[in-house]
A and B are shown apart, each in its own frame.
Chain A
C-alpha cells in the first residue's frame, strides 16, 4: 500500500511540472501585455514601461523567467498580482474558503438527493418514479447551468417576492435580509445539479448490477427480506463507485465554478482566475491554477487510496500497467 502511495505521489510530479509548463506557455502565447493592461486606456512612456518590465523580471529570457518562477514556487512564493498589488497567496487565501463552503453544500445535495433518487429508481425499476428520475437526470445534465441559475433567481428570488411567497436570496454570501446559510441554497443547488444527476445514474446502474450478482440472489434465496438484502449487501458494494465519483467531484469543485460564481456573485476562486486571464494578470492566473491543480491532485490521490481500501478485490491494478 505504501509502495502504491509513493508511486502515485511520484507520478504527480511530472504532471505538476507539465501543468506549470503549459501555464507558462499560455501566458507567453496569449496576446496581451500585462503592463499595458494595468494602465488601462492610458499610455505610458517607454522608460516607464521598461522600468516596470525590469521590476517584474520580464526583461529576462523566457527559460530564465520560467526557472525563476519554479525556484520561487518551490519556496512557496507565488508572487504578487500585477493589477492589485497584492500577494497571490493572500488573494486565494481569502477566496478559497468561499469555494470550499459552496462545494461542500453541493456535495451534501449530491449525496442526499443523488443517492436517494438512484436507490429509489433501482429498487422500483421501470416504475413511474424510475422513469421520472431517468428523465429528470437526463434533463439536468443537458441544461446550461447558468441558464438554470438565472431562471431560478427569476422565479424563487424575484417572482416569489412579487407574489408574496417566501423567497430565497438571489446573490452574494450575506445580506441584511437573510441569514448567511440561506444564501447558499440556490448556488449550491445549481452547482450540484449536473453531478446529482450523475450520482443518481451511477447509483442506479451499480445497484442494479450488484443485485444481479450471485451472492445477492443467494441472500434472497436464504429468505432475507428484499430491503434487508439491499441495505446489508447491495448498497455497500454498489456504493464504491458512487463514493469515488463524489470524491472526484469534490476535487473538480475545488477548481471553482466560474458560471455559478458569475450568476450568483459568489466570491470564489474560479471567477478570480477567469478575470485574471482577461486582465492578463499572469501571477494570479499561474498561482491560482497551480493551487487548484495541487488541491485537486491531493483529493484525487485520497480518493484513489480510499478506493483501494474500500474494495479489497482491487490489488492496485495500476501497478500492472
Chain B
C-alpha cells in the first residue's frame, strides 16, 4: 500500500506541475453567461455583505485618514452632516439644521434629538466637543487634526497650552456652536468628514486600547467583535439607528494585501465588492456589465466606472534650476498624450484632465488650463521658446513616482512622449510609504531631504467636495501640500478672498478665476481624472459607491438566491 501511495503522490506532484503549464498556455478568456437580473427588484432583508478593503491603519476616528480605515469609520460613525452618495450634495445627519453668521466665522448646529451610540446612550453636543478635542490635542498626534485647523483654539490645543477647544461650545444637549479663527464659508462641508463624528467619552476612558480595536459609534452598523487584523472586520446592523434601517444583517470587511488577491477571490465568488485589478477592466465589464450611472451596482450591471473627485497629475518644481522655466513646463504639459494613458493603462475608462479640479465638483471648468492638452506642434514651439529647440541643451530631467497600481506604465508612457519632442527623462520609482512622506516632504518652502526633485507624480482626493479643497492646499505658497513650491502672491490673496466670501455663487466664480490664474504658470501637469474601477457580485443590489469613494452600505441589499 505504502509503495503505491508514494508513487502516486510523486506522480501527482509532477503531473500537477505539467498540467499547470499546459493549462495556462492553452487558456483563453472564457465567457461565462451573465446572470439575468431579476425582473422585479424589491429589496430583500438579510444576508451579510462581503466588502473588500486593505488593512486599515486605524479604525478609530482619531486617525480616520487613509481610505481603508475611513471606509469602516463611515459605517460605524455618523457626523453632523453627510453627502448624498450620488450628487455629493450636503444633507443632514446627526445635525438637523445649521447656519453660519454673516461673515461665516460662527456656526450653529442643531442636533437631532435622541440619536444613540451603539452602547445605548443618547448622543449630545458635548460628544462632538469631546471627539474634536481628542483629535485637536497635540499630544494625541492625530493624523487628521488639520481638518479642525480653522477652529478657534486649535493652535493652542496643538501647542499643548490648552486642553479645551475654545471655539467649540455645547450650548445645550442639542446645540453645538463653533467659532472659527477666520471666515470660512465652506466649513459646513468640513464637518461632514466621517472622522469628525461624536465619540462616547465613557467608552474611551474605560479602555482606550479596546476602543481602538472595537470602536463604539453612532452609525448604521456596529462592531460585534474586535478587529481581526489582516483578516477582517465584522459589523452588524445597529437596531436603534436613527435613520433608515439597513437591509443587510451585517457587513464583513475582508482584508486583502492587494487588489490582485482580492480580485482573484472575487472571481471565485467570495466577495460582493472588489476593486478590478489593473488590466482587467474591459474583460470585467464584458463579463459582468457596466452600471449606467457609474456609481450604483446591480446584478448584470456590476461594474462601476464613475468619476471620482480626484485628479492624477505630475508636480513640476517651480524652484528647480531647469524646471523653473515656465515655457518648458508648458511644453511638457503639451507633449504628453494623456489619451494614450487612458486607453492603454486604464483601458479607456479614464478621461484626460485639463486642470487640477475634476468634473463633479461645483465650479468645474472644462479645458481650464490651455496648455494642458496633447499637441506636439505646440510642445515643440514652446520648447523652442523656452530656449531648448528640439531639446538641445536641455539636461536630463528626473521623474519621481511611487510604484504599483500601474504607475510604472503611466510613467513609461510619459517618458516616451517627452522623448519624442526631445526632452530626456529618467524614472525614479519609490515605495509609496517613503515617497509620500519622505521624498515629497516640504518644509519652509523647500524639499526637506533634497532640492533636486523635478517632476513628481501624485494624486489628490477630495476630503470634501469643494474647489477650495483642491486649490487652497495645492497652490497656496504656505501649504506643505504644494509640492511645486509654487509662490504667487496674487494667488494667495485671491484664495483668501474666496474663503471669506459667503455668497456661494460668487465664491465659486472666485475659485474659478484662481484656477485659471494658476494655469498661466503650469506648476503641475494634470493627467487624468480618476474613475472608480470597482465591481459588485451578482447578488448585490443598489449599492452606491460615491464619487468620494465611500459606500452607502445601509441602502444595499442581497438577493436571497445566493449560491
Chain A positions near chain B (C-beta within 8 angstroms)? 31-33, 36-43, 45, 47-48, 51-52, 55, 83-86, 91, 94-95, 112-113, 116-117, 119-120, 129, 132-133, 136, 139-140, 148, 151-155, 157-159, 161-163, 167, 169-177, 196, 261-265, 267, 271-272, 275, 278-280
Show 25 A/B contacts (Cβ-Cβ < 8 Å), sorted by A.
A31-B438, A36-B441, A40-B436, A43-B479, A43-B480, A47-B158, A83-B57, A91-B229, A94-B228, A95-B229, A113-B9, A116-B9, A120-B6, A139-B17, A154-B24, A155-B19, A155-B20, A157-B264, A170-B264, A171-B256, A171-B261, A176-B50, A177-B269, A265-B265, A271-B230
6 tightest A-B contacts by CB? A43-B480, A267-B230, A116-B6, A36-B437, A265-B261, A117-B10
Q: Are A40 and B66 in contact (CB under 8 A)?
A: yes
Q: In the assembly, what is the distance between CA of A73 and CA of B156, in Å?
A: 37
Q: Are B270 and A117 in contact (CB under 8 A)?
A: no
> Binary interface profile of B, 1-16, with partner A (CB < 8 Å = 1, else 0)?
0010111011001100
For residues 429 through 483 of chain B, which have their beta carbon under 8 Å from a beta carbon of chain A? 431-434, 436-438, 440-443, 449, 458, 479-481
Q: Are B146 and A85 in contact (CB under 8 A)?
A: no
User: Which among A31, A116, A177, A279 has the highest number of chain B CB atoms within 10 Å?
Assistant: A116
User: Which among B55, B229, B481 has the highest number of chain A CB atoms within 10 Å?
Assistant: B229
Q: Are A94 and B261 in contact (CB under 8 A)?
A: no
Size category, B interface: 35 or more
Mark the stretch among B135-143, B308-316, B341-349, B527-535 that contacts chain A. B135-143
Interface check B30, CB cutoff 8 A: yes
Q: Are B23 and A85 in contact (CB under 8 A)?
A: no
Q: Are B65 and A42 in contact (CB under 8 A)?
A: yes
Contacts of A153 in B (CB 8 A): 264
Nearest chain B CB to A195's CB is how many angstroms away?
A: 13
Total A-B residue contacts, Cβ distance less than 8 Å: 183
Nearest chain A CB to B537's CB is how many angstroms away?
A: 11
Q: Are B17 and A161 in contact (CB under 8 A)?
A: no
Interface check B58, CB cutoff 8 A: yes
Contacts of A267 in B (CB 8 A): 229-231, 255
Nearest chain A CB to B443's CB is how many angstroms away?
A: 8
Cross-interface CB contact of B438 among A36, A117, A148, cutoff 8 Å: A36
User: Which among A48, A262, A278, A280 has the highest number of chain B CB atoms within 10 Å?
Assistant: A48
Nearest chain B CB to A174's CB is how many angstroms away?
A: 8
For residues 144 through 169 of chain B, which have their beta carbon under 8 Å from a beta carbon of chain A? 144, 146, 158-160
Cross-interface CB contact of B20 among A152, A157, A263, cutoff 8 Å: A152
Q: In the assembly, what is the distance between CA of A101 and CA of B256, in Å?
A: 19
Contacts of A265 in B (CB 8 A): 256-257, 261-262, 265
Q: In the assembly, what is the distance between CA of A170 and CA of B20, in Å?
A: 15
Interface check B212, CB cutoff 8 A: yes
Q: In the assembly, what is the distance between CA of A261 and CA of B146, in Å?
A: 36
Cross-interface CB contact of B138 among A48, A157, A271, cutoff 8 Å: A48
